[in-house]
Chains A and B, each alone.
Chain A
Amino acid sequence: MHNKSLKELSIGLQNKEFSSVELTQVFLNRIKQHQDLNAFITITEEIALQSAKEADIRIANKKTDSLTGIPVAQKDIFCTLDVKTSCGSMMLDNFNAPYNATVIEKFNQAGAVMLGKLNMDEFAMGSSNETSYYGAVKNPWNTHKVPGGSSGGSAVAVAAKLAAFATGTDTGGSIRQPAALCGITGLKPTYGRVSRFGMIAYASSLDQGGPMTHSAEDAAIVLQTMAGFDPKDSTSVDLPVPDYSATLNQPLTGLKIGLPKEFFSDDLNAEMATKLSAAIDEYRKLGAEIKEVSMPNLKLAIPAYYVIAPAECSANLSRFDGVRFGHRCENPVDLTDLYTRSRGEGFGKEVKRRILMGTYALSTGYYDAYYVKAQKIRRLISDDFKNALTEVDVIMGPVTPTPAFDIGEKMSDPVEMYLSDIYTIAINLAGLPALSIPAGFINEMPIGLQIIGNYFTEAHLLNIAHQYQQVTNWHQQTPKGFA
């Protein structure tokens, strides 16, 4: 059952081949069996079985949605009513959210079954899932390797088939990078497409939630439920949501693909270049035209991002002060002690590093040199994409410089860790949609192909990814021991 696509699961449920309770039990068993992967922070077994029962009633009454009765695992960044929402932090280890995120609300309405909450880098700050208070998540392809981050638990839950699908969030690559490193499909929608209400903020102008699935076909179904205008989020965009599944089979004849020369320079790992080249050849065969494009300011994406994201996070994380919720230190002697100790104890090292960085970048005397400068560069990068996307329909490139690295390998050097986000970060600065699909293996570890489109062209990106997945089977590979 756990190997079926979302469409197959839905048909199976509706035809009573199996019930939602049975399906849910299969996944709950797998979760317990593979707890060593450390993908889950919280397993919500009771809630899952209860929702599965309700879903079965809905199915019997033929009041179904495409996700009714299907088990999902949620990144622990989405607030879930009365269920621990830790954001991977000791700060929120005792936090049972008093409301649901809009995304959770939408899945509940669709009748999806929540299996639990997934491990992640603390407050979504990390590229390896090693900054989590709950420990590193292991990559099922090789448990000595990282799964990527920050949605590492999500990528692992899908790759190891611990859930039919998962949600992730992407601020600088946090959906696409772990998807690539775990061999699954991950989509970061256009900024504003998916509500951010109840999604604990890291960097508000960059954060976006999206689906993490086995295939583009599955991603289309999940995005259909996640997307849409939310009056509770001022940055949510009020545009109609297209039928993402309806256009999956359109032919790609005449599709113009742009390859940024900055992505394919000599710096790119030779094996990675070969694999991507092979993937692009598949698109040629599907009728696409390939063109080189240039985005001269891309190289400044990392410094700009590492000013903007920490600046926003330094303010976003001020609310964690030990007064109204979350961790509070023992016996504070005065207010300053309450703040500094609660925050000092509650946050891990990477979070502190980014709060310090952001606080510095916004402080008197440095604001113009760092923050304003970074925002100007953000404009230039965004313009680079806009220009390129007038010449081509989509841009393709790597997701990561290398396949998954070893757990512990880059923890001692934050700068090196940041540099591994080189191919994903610029897309968040521009607010564009992008997805990562499995495109082969290097040393038995999966790698991804990134497809970047213009604003609100998710349907087209899914169509392009789906066509590739019709002629390749990278996305159907399963890590050993997880079949």
Chain B
Amino acid sequence: MSLTTNDVNKIAHLARLGIDAQDTESYAKDLSGILDLMTQMSELNTDAVEPMAHPMDQAQRLRADNITEINNRDKFMSIAPQTEDGLFLVPKVIE
């Protein structure tokens, strides 16, 4: 399986990941190499196998419905790139 630079650009857009134009070729090559590695998996029949998402066969623990967090806005805002009036600012969102 091999990926084209066009594939790479599509995936990069989906991941909102800027990649330098001159690197696209090498990403395509690297990813194709990795995908070749993946094809080994298809040689094994796994029809009867249940997928495993987690190492532990455990149930989700449930938290009591209590308010345990206090307002920490100033602290959080202090590490944000751009804020005003307690809001995070981003370029205009068009709906």
Q: Is the CB of B51 within 8 A of A375?
A: yes
Identify 24 residue pairs between A and B in the complex whose beta-carbon atoms are under 8 Å apart, listed by A's number: A95-B79, A96-B79, A238-B61, A302-B37, A303-B37, A318-B16, A321-B16, A323-B80, A323-B81, A323-B88, A326-B81, A340-B12, A340-B13, A344-B18, A344-B19, A352-B19, A353-B31, A353-B34, A356-B15, A376-B50, A414-B33, A415-B33, A429-B55, A430-B55
**Which A residues lie at the B interface, using CB under 8 A?**
94-96, 98, 191-192, 205, 231, 234-235, 237-238, 297, 299-300, 302-304, 306-307, 314, 318, 321-326, 328, 332-341, 343-345, 347, 349, 352-353, 355-357, 359-360, 363, 369-370, 372-380, 382, 413-415, 418, 429-432
Known: A303-B40, A356-B31, A415-B33. A332 touches B91 (CB 8 A): yes
Q: Does any Cβ of A come within 8 Å of B42's Cβ?
A: yes
CA distance A352 to B92 in the complex (A): 27
Supplied contacts A300-B44, A323-B88, A324-B79, 16 more A-B pairs, CB within 8 Å = A98-B75, A191-B55, A192-B56, A231-B63, A237-B56, A300-B40, A303-B41, A323-B80, A335-B92, A356-B15, A357-B31, A376-B51, A377-B49, A379-B50, A380-B46, A414-B30
Q: Is the CB of B91 within 8 A of A338?
A: yes
Q: Is the CB of A378 within 8 A of B52?
A: yes
CA distance A33 to B83 in the complex (A): 41
Q: Which B residues are CB-close (under 8 A) to A297?
A: 44
Q: Which residue of A lies closest to B72 (CB)?
A: A98
- The 5 residue pairs across chains A and B that have the minimum distance between CB atoms: A344-B18, A431-B55, A375-B51, A339-B16, A379-B52
CB under 8 Å from chain A, chain B span 51-88: 51-56, 58, 60-61, 63, 72, 75-76, 78-82, 88
Residues 4-24 of chain B, each 1 if its beta carbon lies under 8 Å from chain A, else 0:
000110011111111110010
Known: A205-B55, A343-B18. A306 touches B93 (CB 8 A): no
Known: A373-B46, A377-B46. A355 touches B41 (CB 8 A): no
CA distance A181 to B53 in the complex (A): 31
CA distance A430 to B3 in the complex (A): 31
Q: Is the CB of A340 within 8 A of B34?
A: no
Q: Which residue of B lies closest to A326 (CB)?
A: B81
CA distance A250 to B54 in the complex (A): 33
CA distance A111 to B46 in the complex (A): 50
Q: Which B residues are CB-close (under 8 A) to A302?
A: 37
Q: How many of B's residues come within 8 Å of A, CB to CB?
A: 53
Chain A interface helix/strand/loop/mixed: helix
Known: A323-B81, A324-B80, A352-B17. A191 touches B40 (CB 8 A): no
Q: Is the CB of A303 within 8 A of B91?
A: no
In the assembled complex, how far is the CB of residue A42 from the closest CB belonging to chain B, in whole angstroms? 16
Q: Is the CB of A415 within 8 A of B76?
A: no
Known: A235-B56, A373-B42. A343 touches B16 (CB 8 A): yes
CA distance A337 to B60 in the complex (A): 38
Known: A300-B44, A303-B40, A357-B34. A341 touches B15 (CB 8 A): no
CA distance A372 to B38 in the complex (A): 12
Q: Which residue of B lies closest to A341 (CB)?
A: B18
Q: Which A residues are CB-close (under 8 A) to B20?
A: 344
CA distance A339 to B14 in the complex (A): 11
Q: Is the CB of B17 within 8 A of A355?
A: yes
Q: Which A residues are CB-close (under 8 A) to B8?
A: 356
Q: Is the CB of B27 within 8 A of A333?
A: no
Q: Which residue of A lies closest to B23 (CB)?
A: A349
Q: Which residue of B lies closest to A356 (CB)?
A: B11
Known: A324-B76, A369-B42, A373-B42. A359 touches B15 (CB 8 A): yes
Q: Which residue of B lies closest to A432 (CB)?
A: B55
Q: Which B residues are CB-close (under 8 A) to A205?
A: 53-55
Q: Which B residues are CB-close (under 8 A) to A340?
A: 12-13, 16-18
Say which residue of B27, B52, B79 sits within 8 Å of A382 (CB atoms).
Answer: B52
